[in-house]
Amino acid sequence: MKKIFYRPPDAWVGDLIPYWENGVYYGFYLHDPRKRDKEYAEMTTWHLVKTQNFMDVEYSGEAIPRGRDDQPNKNAYTGSVIKDNKGIYHAFYTAYNEAIKIGGKSIQTIMQAVGTDLEHLETLDGFRFASDGVMYEEFDWRDPFVFWNEEEGCYIMLVTTRLKGGGALRGGCIAMCRSVDLINWTYDSPFYSPGMYITMECPELFKMGAHWYLIFSTFSDKFATHYRIADSWKGPWKIPENDTFDSRADYAIKTASDGKRRYAFGWIASKYGQSDFGSWEWGGTMVFHELMQNEKTGELEVRMIPSVRETFSDICEPKAMAAYNCQVNNKDGKMQITSETLGGAMFPVEVDCFLLEMDVHVNEAAEFGIALHTDKGMEKGYFLRMDIRKKQMAWDMWPRGEQGKYQWQIKGDVPYQIETARPLPEGNDFHLQIIREDDICVVYVNDKVALSTRMYDHKGGYAGVYVLQGNVELKNYTERRREKFETKK
């Protein structure tokens, strides 16, 4: 059975470059072999997968080979794909070779591969597009996003870069360049320069309904993919209340649309040593979400792709509930969970792959949340802490680290995994969908907010709802699997 979250057998997935045509989503991605320990994005090339439903992902091999070790494109990094009016495909990508330097710093340039179909792209000899070195820095000149602008009557390229001589921590900007033939490019003033970040990676611009959206990813203020919203492709750009699509784990998100629906393509980072206590790494496993537009505000919301939910077609038989330090009363199809301190109602879950769905109504609570892969005493496992007052949710885990010599050395001053913090939708009613496969977990709340992370150290055990000094109602708790679970004889 194919995995929900794809990665190649002997490599890891870096930034995706999605493209849609004739009912097929082409997912170009940076293929990172990780040849040496703690070395990332080396010997990187573009590879390709295809899908029509985001469940059946077909690997199509290498799409753009890298150059020799002495060439500028020793590594082929992020870019974009566009089809011209003659039916030729143009893939613009970042070329990087650490050995090629200006002023002692390794530089990045933009190269181009072309082809008559998307599976056979060849790099153009002689095409190099570098920074002007006047407005923009040479060592940050990457992630080209090219589109045809009808209003301007030319192609426009957005480029991740930095203002020449700008601040080391706030000088990041998105450059704008123009061309009429996709070969000869001129430099223009910055497209977006907020004075907020080191750089703004993987930029993308698109229109959805009446609004324009600018997407970019950052690693300085926080690891996240952000978006801005405007009434014109030129801006001015407004920062929405929730300007991110997912947690720190899901980075460098880009999107593609069939003209009706738009999907987010990202990667869930791995952790070093395949341990909850390991540091986040560059590269990981593919993840897809659907983006929905709020009709009132124009802001973007995130939900599970319906075809993904449909694959979890088998509902498991109910299992015996385990209650910890709480009172549980069943009435009118609802389970009332009440505790004067910390308590929870939980059900056994399988180890490998499942979808949990449930509806939770909060009557009153100092705190509530989801317990996952815990024991009956809630001594270990993962806890999705949901704070209505702060409108925030984040994963916590017990234990939070390897205990030191003394009893108090248990990271009691780390209240949750800050990098997983996500906004919690307003109100007291929450519909939760939790996908678990291998070491990946993705949570969707109210078809509005997504939270992706890795979970290595705890599996099986129990899952359910906990409450701190309060009362919550649980209903429609369901565990779904992708195939019938057969009891071993």
Same domain flag for 403 and 434: yes
Q: Are residues 438 and 354 in the same domain?
A: yes
- Its domain, for residue 173, covers 12-309
Q: What confidence tens digit (pLDDT) does each residue in 11-25 have?
A: 999 999 999 999 999
Same domain, 172 and 234: yes
pLDDT the model gives residue 317:
80
For the chain, the domain total comes to 2
Give domain status of residue 7, yes or no. no
Number of other residues whose CB lies within 10 A of the CB of residue 2 = 10
Are residues 194 and 284 located together in one domain of the fold?
yes
421 in the same domain as 295:
no
Q: Are residues 352 and 283 in the same domain?
A: no
> What's phi and psi for 307, nearest 5 deg?
-65, -25
Q: Among 309, 328, 357, identify where a domain stops.
A: 309
Does residue 278 sit within a domain?
Answer: yes
- Asked whether residue 176 falls in the same domain as residue 150, the answer is yes
Q: What is the largest CA-CA distance in the chain?
A: 73
Per-residue pLDDT reduced to its tens digit, 168-206: 999 999 999 999 999 999 999 999 999 999 999 999 999
Mean local confidence (pLDDT), 261-285: 97
pLDDT digits (tens, 9 = 90+) for 352-367: 899 999 999 999 998 9
- Using one digit for the tens of pLDDT, what is the confidence trace for 415-450? 899 999 999 999 999 999 999 999 999 999 999 999
Q: Is 479 in contact with 485 (CB distance < 8 Å)?
A: no
pLDDT over 90, % of the chain? 90
Q: Which one of 279, 309, 339 terminates a domain?
A: 309
Rounded Cα gap, residues 416 and 343, in angstroms: 18
Tell me the per-residue pLDDT of 123-163, one tens digit each, with 9 for 90 and over: 999 999 999 999 999 999 999 999 999 999 999 999 999 99
Quote the pLDDT of residue 96. Answer: 97
Residues 33 and 157 in one domain: yes
Average pLDDT over residues 390-412: 92
Is 4 within a domain?
A: no
- The CA-based angle 77-30-444, given to 5 degrees, is 120
Q: Is a pLDDT exceeding 80 seen at residue 483?
A: no
Structural domain includes residue 489? no
Q: Say what the pLDDT of residue 488 is.
A: 35
- 34 and 143 belong to one structural domain: yes
In this structure, the answer to whether residues 334 and 260 fall within a common structural domain is: no
pLDDT tens-digit series, residues 52-104: 999 999 999 999 999 999 999 999 999 999 999 999 999 999 999 999 999 89
**273 and 329: one domain?**
no
Q: Tell me whether residue 274 is in a domain.
A: yes
Q: What is the arithmetic mean of pLDDT over 318-344? A: 93
Q: Please report the pLDDT score of residue 486 as a whole number.
A: 39
> Cβ(447)–Cβ(431) under 8 Å?
yes
Inter-residue contact 158 to 212 (CB < 8 Å):
no
Structure confidence at residue 368 (pLDDT): 96
In a 10 Å sphere around its CB, with 0-12 CB exposed, 13-18 middle and 19+ buried, how is residue 458 labelled?
middle
pLDDT for res 350 = 82
d(CA 385, CA 445): 13
3 belongs to a structural domain: no
Establish if 423 belongs to a structural domain: yes
Beta bridge partners of 330: 335
- CATH code, domain carrying 443: 2.60.120.560
CATH number for the domain harbouring residue 130: 2.115.10.20
For every residue of the chain, which 3-state class applies, written as one string?
Answer: CCCCCCCCCCCEEEEEEEEEECCEEEEEEEEECCCCCCCCCCCCEEEEEEECCCCCCEEEEEEECCCCCCCCCCEEEEEEEEECCCCCEEEEEEEEEEEEEECCEEEEEEEEEEEEECCEEEECCCCCECCCCCCEEEEEEEEEEEEEECCCCEEEEEEEEEECCCCCCCCEEEEEEEECCCCCCEECCCCECCCCCCCCEEEEEEEECCEEEEEEEECCCCCEEEEEEECCCCCCCECCCCCECCCCCEEEEEEEECCCCEEEEEEEEEEHHHCCCCCEEEEEEEEEEEEEECCCCCCEEEECCHHHHHCCCEECCCCCCEEECCEEEEECCEEEEEEEEEEEEEEECCCCEEEEEEEEEEEEEEEEEEEEEECCCCCCEEEEEEECCCCEEEEEEECCCCCCCCCCCCCCCCCCCHHHCEECCCCCEEEEEEEEECCEEEEEECCCEEEEEECCCCCCCEEEEEEEEEEEEEEEEEEEECCCCCCCC
Q: What are the φ and ψ backbone dihedral angles of 314, each rounded to 5 degrees?
A: -105, 120
Residue 127 and residue 145 share a domain: yes
Among 256, 276, 309, the domain boundary falls at 309
CA distance 253 to 248: 11
Residue 407 lies in a domain: yes
